Amino acid sequence: TSEWNDDDFTNFQMSKLNIHPHFFQFDNQASDGVISGFSYDQSMRSYMQFTKKMKDGHHVGMPMPMNAKLLSSTRAGDKTIKIQMADGATPFHAGADIMVGIEVPNGRDARWIKSMSPDPTKGIAKDGKYTITFTEGMTHAHSAGTIVSTEFVRYRWWVDVDLGLVFWHDHAFGATTWPHGGIGTTVVEPWGSTYHDPKTGKPIRTGVVADIHGTEPFAYGRNGSFREIVVQTHDTVPHTAQLVTKGNPPGLSRENAIAAGQSISFQMPKTMLEVAFPHLNGGTHTTGGGFNFRAASLSARLKSNSDASKMFSSRVHGDPSTPMISAYLGDNVVFRLLHGMMNETHMFSLSGHGYRPERYDFQSRMTNALHVGIAERYDLATTAGGYQQMAGDYLYFDGRTSHLSEGSWSILRVHDKLQGDLKVLPGNEDSSKWKRGVVCPSGAPTKNFSVVAINRALDFNAKAEDQIEVDFERKLILANAEGKIFALEGEAARTASGGAPHPLTLRANIGDCIKIKLSNRLKSGNASMHINNVAFDPMTSQGINVGNNSGDQTVAPGSSKTYTYYAHPDYGQTGSVIWDFGNLTGNVRDGLYGGLVIGPRGSVYRDPATGKDISLGNSWKADVIIDKSYPENRNLENYRDFALYFQDEDNILGTSFMPYLQNVAGLTGVNYRLEPWSYREDEGCELGNMFTPCVAASSDPATPTLKAHAGDLVMINIFGAHNEQN
């Protein structure tokens, strides 16, 4: 049913809604929602509408919906009703099914019309009053004034397999209805499941967060009961959009910037906040992100408290308004992830917890960061507390900077003690097992690194101009005087004055315990290290002040802190991005990022040019020498390993419009380097030889060149270091 009345603004006096599902089996003639070919109309108009805008004696847009009201009350068992049709509405007819009490939850009666008096086929009643007789009596009593309508649709879907999360949305006025809530999900649970409120244990039928009780499998190696949360990422919701100021013409007023982005279906509030990432550019506004039509705006939090190191702290700001999920150590947890709408790509990251993107495939890579495209969905199963069973608050978030700023983040809260507002899951009732583990197992090889955060101006191409105008007053930036980087302590002095550095790249092996001492030598502001795809204690080594976790996990200038991680075997060979959360909105963009590359157990790393052992060094490239004494490595061969870090800050990137509406602007590069086409063109390149040594000053581009012999095995680790493109 629909309560969306006709208006001039969003539906042009033609309100209409339907539901189009993905994945289900259905009769496309009657339950597809999409009205195509000779299919029946599967849409509905508002049952709440009883007046209609008129012009020159005729209705505007679509006719009045077929709505009426009871003229007198009825009792259960009655087969006859008296109604008054809405003014201008087409009357019902014999053989139609209508619903009495359509607005009454659990009190509706849908019945077939046997006859009507007067008979509308012989002439419409001038007063709009009719007596209707049904083919059978009604189940419920109804009071006078109750709505009677034919504006409803029954969809019948066949659930033939364990589909997990199933997406559906309106297919009548989608571009208008989606941003206002015209999307939804149906979760197909394992056979025999029951659904419960996590706080009370009572049965529920709907809800974003639920406890699912059962015995059947729901992912590889997992069966039984689990906690569940549906996470619908979205964009194109005007209420959460934020103002972008960088890259716009000088003198553009706030009012004009907002007006430039308004449209019939996208009306942004005049009180919208500026984006929390001040260097983000591309258009006059972000597109409006969130989880499940909820947002915990970082801009609003910074306005309340300017300390960027405390943005995610519930101790400072309270819990976020986005859906949170709580669990006990060892509970199975499933994140039902959906990109519900509408124009952009998103990235989902769950701190400290690994999951398989393909939940039933044991060979599916284990990760905790995942790109998700338009209408894409995943069912991500994990264990509360991570591999090493650590209680605390963990951040989950959309890694795209614009949507993170808008408020696309929340918390997974893992307890090790019984809570009054969280029921125990069947199968994990023994609270004596809810004990915090240790990060690094006894006997695990330990690697120690001493890292510093320093100020370091960055020039992405020493031979090109610092800025290149790509559109009117929009510039591609190739130099950042406010740059900041991570470096090993022993190379800090050389890095500060030497050639262009690369992002910090550390290397360890499967099964290693990794200890990183971070010293903050920045001129101002806190720094930290957050690393994904490794195990850690969220109370001490998450690198983020999140939720109710105690203490400060960031490092003030002049201070140091040691973070401890474990390269759990289930993550396998992987790349782990390093982000600063001391000031996420500025430092990462300025270069305070890096990577931890995890290789096969026992591996040694050598400089490709000199053969020097760099196992404890910092290098974006390395030759990996396999230790075949480990049985798991017997079929592996030595290989060359590279780490490439892509960054950008243009809000136009990652949209569904191709070609992009504007040229890419802002600070953009690979490993703090950039080779712009416009620069190469000025140096004599033509489109046909853009990627050849056509620049007079240099044969190789400023960006990293990967070198290997024919036949060499090569591993390339790609990091989305700071970006809109993901």
Predicted confidence (pLDDT) per residue in 240-263, tens digit: 999 998 877 777 888 888 888 888
Confidence of residue 169 (pLDDT cuts 50, 70, 90): very high
Which element (helix H / strand E) includes 716?
strand 714-722
What CA–CA distance (Å, rounded) separates 573 from 578?
Answer: 16
Pairing of strands 290-291, 217-219: unpaired
Q: Report the pLDDT value the prediction gives residue 698, as an integer from 0 to 100.
A: 58
Rounded to a whole number of angstroms, the CA Rg of the chain reads 30
pLDDT at residue number 726: 53
User: Given pLDDT bands bounded at 50, 70 and 90, which one contains residue 697?
Assistant: low
- Nearest-angstrom CA–CA distance, 562 and 453: 13
Report the mean per-residue pLDDT for the chain: 94
Cα gap 99→101, rounded to integer Å: 6
Burial per residue of 125-147, b for 16 or more beta-carbon CB atoms within 10 angstroms, e otherwise: eeeeebebebeeebebebeeebb
Residue 725, pLDDT > 80, answer: no
pLDDT-wise least confident of 166-175, 449-458, 640-649, 667-676:
166-175
Instruction: Tell me the two tokens of residue 552.
Output: 């400060």
According to DSSP, the β-strands at 409-415 and 325-328 are parallel
pLDDT value at 50 more than 90: yes
How far is residue 614's CA from residue 617's CA, in Å, rounded to a whole number?
A: 5
State yes or no: pLDDT of 654 exceeds 80. no
In this prediction, residues 439-443 reach a mean pLDDT of 97
What is the per-residue pLDDT for 220?
97
Structure tokens at 383: 């264990």
pLDDT score at 548: 98
Q: What percent of the chain has pLDDT over 70?
A: 98
In this prediction, residue 590 carries a pLDDT of 98
Report helix, strand or coil for 503: coil
Q: What is the pLDDT of residue 696?
A: 61
Residue among 223, 186, 233, 396 at smallest CA distance from 312: 396
Q: Is the dihedral of CA 38, 42, 46, 47 positive or negative?
A: positive
> Tens digit of pLDDT for each residue in 496-530?
877 899 999 999 999 999 999 999 999 999 999 99
**Closest C-alpha to 168, from 33, 304, 306, 59:** 33
Residue 725's nearest CA partner among 347, 232, 278, 235 is 347
Alpha carbons 721 and 458: distance in angstroms, whole number:
16
Lowest mean pLDDT segment, chosen from 132-141, 224-233, 245-254, 404-413: 245-254
Q: For residue 141, what are its two tokens?
A: 């009593």
Quick check: 33 and 18 in contact, CB under 8 A? yes
Q: How many CA atoms lie within 13 A of 395 on its CB side?
A: 28
pLDDT of residue 471: 83
For 509-575, the DSSP string reads: ETT-EEEEEEEE--SSS-B--EESSSB--TTTSS-S--BT--S--SB-TT-EEEEEEE--GGG-SEE
* Beta strand spans in 126-284 (E): 129-134, 147-149, 157-158, 164-169, 183-188, 194-196, 209-213, 217-219, 222-223, 226-234
Confidence of residue 35 (pLDDT cuts 50, 70, 90): confident
User: What is the maximum span of the chain, computed from C-alpha positions, in angstroms?
Assistant: 98
Confidence (pLDDT) at 347? 93
Query: What does the alpha-carbon distance between residue 581 and residue 722 come to, in Å, rounded to a whole number?
Result: 12
CB 653 within 8 A of CB 282: yes
Is the torsion defined by CA of 317, 351, 408, 557 positive or negative? Answer: positive
The total number of residues written for the chain in this structure:
726
Q: Which of 272-286, 437-451, 538-552, 702-716 has the lowest mean pLDDT?
A: 272-286
Least Cα distance to 406 among 552, 298, 513, 283 occurs for 298
pLDDT on residue 137: 98
Between the alpha carbon of residue 563 and those of residues 81, 265, 391, 554, the distances in Å are 73, 47, 17, 10
Instruction: Check whether 31 has a pLDDT greater than 70.
Output: yes
The conformation of residue 632, written as its DSSP 8-state character, comes to G
- What residues have CB less than 8 Å from 499, skipping those under 6 apart? none
Eight-state DSSP code of residue 466: S
Beta-carbon neighbour count of residue 698 at 10 Å? 12
- The label of the residue with tokens 């979205």 reads 234
- The mean pLDDT of 135-162, rounded to a whole number, is 96
Give the model's pLDDT for residue 485.
Answer: 98
Helical H runs in 648-719?
A: 677-682
Supply the pTM of this predicted model.
0.95
Instruction: State residue 351's pLDDT score.
Output: 98
Q: What is the pLDDT of residues 179-219, one digit of tens each?
A: 888 999 999 999 999 999 999 999 999 999 999 999 999 99
Digit-coded pLDDT (tens) for 683-694: 888 888 888 877
Q: How far is CA 472 from each of CA 258, 265, 662, rounded to the nearest angstrom? A: 19, 28, 10
- Per DSSP, 44 falls in state B
Question: Measuring CA to CA, which residue among 493, 550, 554, 549 is closest to residue 518?
Answer: 554
Q: What's 304's DSSP letter? A: H
**Beta carbons of 624 and 636 less than 8 angstroms apart:** no
Q: In which residue are the tokens 């007023």 written? A: 253
How many Cα atoms sit within 13 Å of 27 on the Cβ side? 11
Q: Which amino acid is at 211?
A: D
Q: Which residue has the tokens 């060892």?
A: 330
Please state the separation of Cα 284 from the chain's center in Å.
22
Domains in the chain with CATH codes: 203-437 (2.60.40.420), 446-652+707-722 (2.60.40.420)
Torsion of CA 453, 459, 461, 463, to 10 degrees: -150
The closest alpha carbon to 490, from 451, 455, 447, belongs to 451
Burial class from Cβ neighbours inside 10 Å (0-12, 13-18, 19+) for residue 58 reads exposed
Binning pLDDT at 50, 70 and 90, where does residue 52 land?
very high
> Are 411 and 546 a contacting pair, CB within 8 Å?
yes
The answer to whether the CB of 359 falls within 8 A of the CB of 381 is yes
Residue 601 has what pLDDT?
98
Residue 247's region, left for phi above 0, alpha for psi from -120 to 50, else beta, is: left
- Tens of pLDDT, residues 305-330: 999 999 999 999 999 999 999 999 99
CA dist., res. 214 & res. 192, Å (int): 6
Among residues 691, 594, 606, 607, the alpha carbon closest in space to that of 643 is found at 594
Q: Rounded to the nearest 5 degrees, what angle is found at the Cα of 143, between the Cα atoms of 138 and 149?
A: 65
